[in-house]
Structure 1
Amino acid sequence: MLTKKRREIIEQIELVSIDSLVPKDHLLRTIEESINFNFIYNEVKDLYSENTGRPSIDPVVLIKLLMLQALYGIRSMRQTIKEAEVNMAYRWFLGYGLQEKIPHFSTFGKNYERRFKESDLFEKIFERILKEAIECGFIKEDAAFIDATHIKASANKNKYIEKVAKKQVQKYKKELLKEINAEREANGKEPFEEDDDEASGDAEGGNSSTNGKRVKISTTDPESGIFQKGEKERCFAYTASVACDRNNFILGFKIAPGNVHDSQVFSDLFQEVNDKFPEIKAVVVDAGYKTPGICREIIEAEILPVMPYKRPMTKDGYFKKREYVYDEYYDCYICPNNQVLKYSTTNRSGYREYKSDPQICRECPMRLRCTQSKNYTKVVTRHIWEHYVEIAEDIRHTELGKELYKMRCQTIERVFADAKEKHGMRYTNLRGLSKVGHYLTLLFACMNLKKLAMWKRKRGMFPPAAPALHSFFFMILKFFASNKKPLLGCAF
Structure 2
Amino acid sequence: MMGQQTGLQEKLFYSFNLDDHVPRSHLLRGIDRFFDLGDLRKHLAPFYSHTGRPSIDPELMVRMLIVSYCLGIRSERRLCEEVHLNLAYRWFCRLELDDAVPDHSTFSKNRHGRFRDSEALRHVFEFVLRRCMTEGLVAGEGFAIDASVIKADANRARGIPGTEVTDWHQSDRQSRAVREYLEALEENNPTDDNIPASTESTTPPKNISLTDPAARWTAAPGGPAFYAYSTNYLIDLQAGIIVDVKATPAYRTQEVESAKTMVGRVAQRFDLKPRRLVGDTAYGTGPMLGWMVHEKGIAPHVPVWDKTERKDGTFSIGDFTWDEQANEYRCPEGHALRSDRRAFKNPRTRITKADTIIYRSSQSDCSTCPQKDQCCPNTPTRKIARSIHEAERNVARSIAATPEYRQSRCDRKKVEMLFAHLKCILKLDRLRLRGLSGAQDEFLLAATAQNLRRMAKWLVPSDKKAQEMPA
Relative to the length of structure 2, the TM-score reads: 0.80
Shift of 1:97: 3.2
Shift of 1:393: 1.0
Contact 1:146 1:412 in 2 (8 A): yes
Q: Distance in 2 between matches of 1:208 and 1:424?
A: 41
| Correspondent of 2:303 among 305, 308, 323 | 308
Please report the RMSD computed on the Cα atoms of aligned residues, expressed in angstroms.
3.4
Larger mean Cα displacement after TM superposition, 330-339 or 295-304: 330-339
Q: Distance in 2 between matches of 1:100 and 1:233?
A: 47
In the alignment, which residue of structure 2 is the partner of 1:325? 321
Kindly indicate whether residue 289 of structure 2 is the aligned counterpart of residue 282 of structure 1: no
Larger mean Cα displacement after TM superposition, 224-233 or 345-354: 224-233
> Partner of 1:209: helix, strand, or coil?
coil
Change over 3 Å in CA distance of 1:4–1:245 after alignment to 2? farther
Q: In the TM superposition, what are the counterparts of 1:2-401 in structure 2 within 5 Å?
A: 16-53=16-53, 55-163=54-162, 209-211=200-202, 213=204, 215-229=206-220, 231-246=222-237, 247-261=239-253, 262-275=255-268, 276-300=270-294, 301-308=296-303, 310=305, 312=307, 314=309, 316-319=311-314, 320-336=316-332, 338-344=334-340, 345-361=350-366, 367=372, 370-371=375-376, 373=378, 375-401=379-405
Kindly indicate whether residue 430 of structure 2 is the aligned counterpart of residue 455 of structure 1: no
Q: Distance in 2 between matches of 1:48 and 1:343?
A: 64
> Partner of 2:19: helix, strand, or coil?
helix
Give a deviation string over 1:400-433, Cα, whole Å, max 9, x none: 2222232111x22222222222222322111011
Larger mean Cα displacement after TM superposition, 438-447 or 450-459: 450-459
Shift of 1:33: 2.4
> Partner of 1:283: helix, strand, or coil?
strand
> Partner of 2:161: helix, strand, or coil?
strand
Contact 1:164 1:210 in 2 (8 A): no
Change over 3 Å in CA distance of 1:231–1:323 after alignment to 2? farther
In the alignment, which residue of structure 2 is the partner of 1:487? none
Shift of 1:212: 5.6
Larger mean Cα displacement after TM superposition, 123-132 or 231-240: 231-240
Larger mean Cα displacement after TM superposition, 353-362 or 109-118: 353-362
Contact 1:126 1:441 in 2 (8 A): yes
Contact 1:241 1:269 in 2 (8 A): no
Change over 3 Å in CA distance of 1:399–1:118 after alignment to 2? same
Change over 3 Å in CA distance of 1:308–1:42 after alignment to 2? same
| Correspondent of 1:412 among 415, 429, 434 | 415
Shift of 1:391: 0.9
Contact 1:141 1:277 in 2 (8 A): no
> Partner of 1:31: helix, strand, or coil?
helix
Structure 1 unaligned regions, length at least 5:
166-196, 469-492
Letter of the structure 2 residue corresponding to residue 97 of structure 1:
E
Q: Distance in 2 between matches of 1:231 and 1:371?
A: 36
Relative to the length of structure 1, the TM-score reads: 0.77
Shift of 1:39: 2.1
Q: Distance in 1 between matches of 2:397 and 2:377?
A: 30
Query: How many residues get paired?
Result: 425
Shift of 1:309: 5.6
Contact 1:317 1:369 in 2 (8 A): no
Contact 1:34 1:456 in 2 (8 A): no
> Partner of 2:359: helix, strand, or coil?
strand
Shift of 1:346: 2.8
Give a deviation string over 1:216-235, Cα, whole Å, max 9, x none: 22111011112222634311
In the alignment, which residue of structure 2 is the partner of 1:442? 445
Contact 2:304 2:393 in 1 (8 A): no
Instruction: Indicate the percent of aligned positions where both proteins have the same amino acid.
Output: 25
Shift of 1:79: 2.0
In the alignment, which residue of structure 2 is the partner of 1:490? none
Q: Distance in 2 between matches of 1:376 and 1:10?
A: 100
Structure 2 unaligned regions, length at least 5:
165-187, 341-349
Change over 3 Å in CA distance of 1:211–1:141 after alignment to 2? closer
Give a deviation string over 1:74-120, Cα, whole Å, max 9, x none: 22212222222322211211222334432221121122233223221
Shift of 1:463: 13
> Partner of 1:146: helix, strand, or coil?
strand
Letter of the structure 2 residue corresponding to residue 43 of structure 1:
H
Give a deviation string over 1:55-87, Cα, whole Å, max 9, x none: 322211111111111101222212222222322
Change over 3 Å in CA distance of 1:85–1:390 after alignment to 2? same
> Partner of 2:422: helix, strand, or coil?
helix
